Amino acid sequence: GDFLIVEKPFAISLATSRTNYCYFCFKRCHNLKPCDGCPHAGFCSIECVESAKKKRDKVEEGNWHFFDCQGLMPYVCLNQSNNWQGEIESIHAAFCCLAKVPPECLLDYICSTGQYEGGSGHQAFVGSKRVREMPLKVYDPFDYSSIAWLSTCSDSRNSEELWQQTVAAVFLTYCLHLGGYPMMWFDETDLFFSDPSPSNRVERIPASWLAACMLFHIQLVGVNSFEFGELFIPTTVERRSFGCCTYPTIS
């Protein structure tokens, strides 16, 4: 058959196979260069190390190993010992979705300012009906608006699932805070009960706003992620999964 579409993922989780694949470009490698800040990620080249660690002012290709470094990776990858019933890859992919968005870019999208001036806002605050009323003209895998437009199916989730996801979202937001993501963790009472808007844009994003976005991404990855793996054919065909990824256009 013909190729209909070729797209790079917005975010990828290699939570359970990060010792076999480059954390930035996802290339299989048997001699990874270890991260100089933690023992939980490796890279296939110096270029990938530099790309994963550099500061960014926009969403770019590859995983950003910046806010999940310094020993935070095991905490970000929730599992059943933390009473998390979902897949480890999905929760890590949700964290990666938000962690790779620079703070100013995220604030612009939430408040409909800057490059997102005239936008409809973020589903985490204004709901899906308002944001998804009109489809996007262009789906760019490295534009946050493309991933933030996707459906979360939040209305179909039961209260137990929503509570578990909310607790996970707050915990992951705190991990993001420990990793150095700029946020206002306290003194945000005046902003807590008001929706973000162009006239309500703050200098530093409140932690409660980030937690709402994190909850959105946890739900989003649950219905929009794709498992990927490799085929091994020694004597019989065996497919092994090693992660999950999110593609805005395909979703």
Residue 83 confidence (pLDDT): 54
pLDDT class of 105 with cuts at 50, 70, 90: very high
pLDDT in tens, 5-22: 788 888 888 766 677 888
pLDDT over 70 for what percent of the chain?
85
Residues present in the chain in total: 251
pLDDT category of residue 80 using cuts at 50, 70 and 90 = very low
pLDDT in the model for residue 16: 64
Distance separating alpha carbons of residues 204 and 22, to the nearest angstrom: 32
Provide the 8-state DSSP code for 236.
Answer: S
Task: Calculate ∠ Cα 233-238-244, nearest 5°.
Answer: 120
Mean pLDDT confidence for 45-58: 90
On average, the pLDDT of the chain sits at 84
Which comes out higher in pLDDT, residue 192 or 131? 131
Token pair belonging to 21: 């694949």
pLDDT digits (tens, 9 = 90+) for 194-240: 778 898 888 889 899 999 999 999 999 888 887 776 666 666 666 66
| DSSP assignment string, 197-251 | -GGG--SS-BHHHHHHHHHHHHHHHHHHEEEEEEEE-SSS-EEEEEEEEE-TTT-
What's residue 232's pLDDT?
65
Name the band, by pLDDT with cuts 50, 70 and 90, for residue 87.
low
More confident of the two residues 87 and 184: 184
For residue 81, what pLDDT is reported? Answer: 45
pLDDT, greater one: 230 or 60: 60
pLDDT at residue 116 above 90?
Answer: yes
Instruction: Judge whether residue 160 has pLDDT over 60.
Output: yes
Measured CA to CA, the distance from residue 73 to residue 19 in angstroms comes to 13
Q: What is the mean pLDDT of residues 87-108?
A: 86
Structure tokens at 232: 């091994």
